Amino acid sequence: MALVAGLAGCPDNSGVVPPIDQFFYPVSLAASPSGNWLYVTSADFDLRYNGGTVAPVDLACVRAAIADPSRTTCAGVPGGPALRCSADRDQAGARVCESRAFIRSAQVRRISPYAVDSAVAQYPTRTRLYVAVRGDGSITWFDLDDAGGLDCGAQGAGATCSDTHRAGADTSQSPIAARLAPDPSSLSLDPERGWIFVTHQSTDPTVDPNTNATQPRASLLRDPASTGGSGAPVLLSAIGNLSPGLSDGVLLPRATGSGARSTWVVTSRSVPFLSFFQAYPGSTALRDGQPFLYQSSSVTVTGLNTGADSRAIVLDPDPAKRRAYIVSRLPEALLTLSLDAANPTTAVVTDARPLPGGPSRLVVRTVGGRTQLLVVSFDARVVTVIDADEGRVLGEIFTGRGPHQAILDPSAGHPFLYLVDFLDAAVEVVDLRLPADPANPGTYLHRVLTLAPQLPE
């Protein structure tokens, strides 16, 4: 399902203020490096409100609610709302709780509608959250603190982020005197350099008569926070003359050295190949201090009859395995690719495993030295758990309506998977804790908690 297909411009509903104690069309998740906060971005997909929101969820409260089902309040929140929960009618041993007790409403901030992706970077003196927003064609950015604070130049619960926190909107700050292209669709970070790599879904065929280039479809920004600064991220480079449909990107391991290029590999919704983009960092020795982005190569994905609609991509955590994994919609399959990140000249499909309908996102983790994949299928409402080394399905996790982006708990001691249900306006928590007795798995690979707008009647 294309969540925001066909949307353009900067839609606006100036009337109805969005709620600050619940989610509405949640589309993206990011987590604080400390593991204390989960940032849930709501997209306002149907324009019911005058914007989307970014809401911090207290993960300590989530974990406590899982550990102690009798708990009635969140620890550390004096006078906070009571936990209102009931048994999950669709999952034995699980509970559904109203989201209001877990969201720090005073810290919720409003953004433009149609957000699509988010990511967190930790820098030497600050931590930042970036949200790709199609509604206003920006990367909206926040300074974070570990009390759940979201600083985007606005004060007060539900306040609208300042225009100064919409990176790419101010052409005067860009060395190429340009603003970010429309329809940002995904972002991937190189936090060591403060680089934000953005793909765009734009299919605008208009050619610029000065450059003979079509609408940019890949962009590079740099955040001064990576070197101790405090200003806004700046658009450094943007390139067009690329095929439409660029989808998800992942940063390849980078060689050491100040002159080493950063390389991203990107999937496509339109053509059966992977695109490789590199960012040149500039060289003081050559008196060339201006970084720029370029497409270094493209590799046809061979071994399939089609493969022209690829979505999420991840690398195997073990570089020695030289594998990448791609969620494909044509065919609906998990593709395993032989891909040497150090020398990506070929990308051959070595395995194609059928997936339930509408696969969209992919999470990878290592369990006991083995690679485990969790594939989210939007239409089929299921997460498929696969042992990538054996090519074996370990289980299926049935979800609410419209499961989309998922993220692992960043704390090693809390193996949970967090998942947004786009259509149910909910966040689910899946138990990934290995059972002591395999013959008695308990809640392993089952939903244990759902944060919902309200309890079912």
Query: Is residue 318 one of the residues assigned to a domain?
Result: yes
pLDDT for 2 equals 44
Please tell me the predicted confidence (pLDDT) of residue 106: 94
Better-scored residue on pLDDT, 178 or 381: 381
Q: Which two tokens stand for residue 17?
A: 């203020």
Helices (H), 68-152: none
Cα 449 to Cα 15: distance, rounded to the nearest angstrom:
34
- The pLDDT, as a whole number, for residue 193 is 92
- Assigned domain for 367 exists: yes
231 and 323 co-located in one domain:
no
pTM: 0.92
Boundaries of domain holding 180 = 26-311+401-452
Per-residue confidence (pLDDT) for residue 212, from 0 to 100: 55
Task: Give how many domains the chain has, as a whole number.
Answer: 2
Q: Is residue 71 domain-resident?
A: yes
Reported as a pLDDT band with limits 50, 70 and 90, residue 3 is very low
What are the strands of the beta sheet with 310-315, ordered from one edge? 310-315, 323-329, 332-338, 348-354
Q: Which of 361, 383, 398 is the last residue of a domain?
A: 398
Two tokens at 419?
């998942």
Domain presence at residue 239 = yes
Mean pLDDT for the chain overall: 88
Q: Rg of the Cα trace of the chain?
A: 21
DSSP code at position 400:
S
Half-sphere exposure of 89 toward its Cβ, with a 13 Å CA cutoff? 4
If you average pLDDT over residues 95-111, what whole number do you get?
95
Is 190 contained in some domain? yes
Q: Which helix (H) or strand (E) holds 67?
A: helix 59-67
Q: Are residues 407 and 383 in the same domain?
A: no
Q: State the Cα–Cα distance between residues 135 and 114, nearest whole angstrom.
A: 5
Q: At a CB cut-off of 8 Å and minimum separation 6, what does 24 contact? A: 18, 42, 43, 44, 48, 49, 52, 53, 425, 453
Average pLDDT over residues 213-237: 88
Asked if 52 contacts 42 with a C-beta cutoff of 8 angstroms, the reply is yes
Residues 89, 123 within the same domain: yes
Using CA atoms, how far apart are residues 140 and 142, in angstroms rounded to an integer?
A: 7
Same-domain status, 330 and 385: yes
> Are residue 394 and residue 406 in the same domain, yes or no?
no
- Listed in sequence order, the DSSP H helices in 68-199 are none
Q: Is residue 112 in some structural domain?
A: yes
Give the range among 98-112, 267-281, 291-305 with minimum mean pLDDT.
291-305
Q: With bands split at pLDDT 50, 70 and 90, how would you rate the model's confidence at 7?
A: very low
Give the tokens for residue 220. 């590079």
pLDDT greater than 60 at residue 54: yes
Cα–Cα distances (Å) from 426 to 23, 40, 175, 400, 414, in that order, read: 6, 10, 41, 8, 20
Contacts of 151 by beta carbon, 8 Å cutoff, 6+ apart = 142, 143, 144, 145
Answer yes or no: is pLDDT of 343 > 90. Answer: no
Tell me the pLDDT tens digit for each residue of 145-181: 999 999 999 999 999 999 999 998 888 888 888 899 8
**Distance from C-alpha of 345 to C-alpha of 174, rounded to nearest angstrom:** 33
Decide if pLDDT at 10 tops 50: no
pLDDT of residue 344: 72
The Cα 267–Cα 339 span in angstroms is 13
Q: 347 pLDDT exceeds 80?
A: no
Q: Are residues 393 and 447 in the same domain?
A: no
Q: Are residues 227 and 374 in the same domain?
A: no
Task: For residue 2, tell me if it sits in a domain.
Answer: no
Residues 421 and 382 in one domain: no
CATH, residue 337: 2.40.10.480
pLDDT of amino acid 295:
92
- Check whether residue 208 and residue 136 sit in a common domain: yes
75 shares its domain with 186:
yes
Q: What is the DSSP letter of 378?
A: T
**For the chain, what percent of residues have pLDDT higher than 90?**
65
pLDDT value at 284 more than 60 = no
Q: Please say if the pLDDT value at position 5 is more than 50.
A: no
> 385 and 269 in one domain?
no
- Looking at residue 242, the DSSP 8-state letter turns out to be -
Amino acid letter at 314? V
Percentage above 70 pLDDT, the chain: 88
Question: Are 234 and 366 within one domain?
Answer: no
Identify whether 4 is part of a domain. no
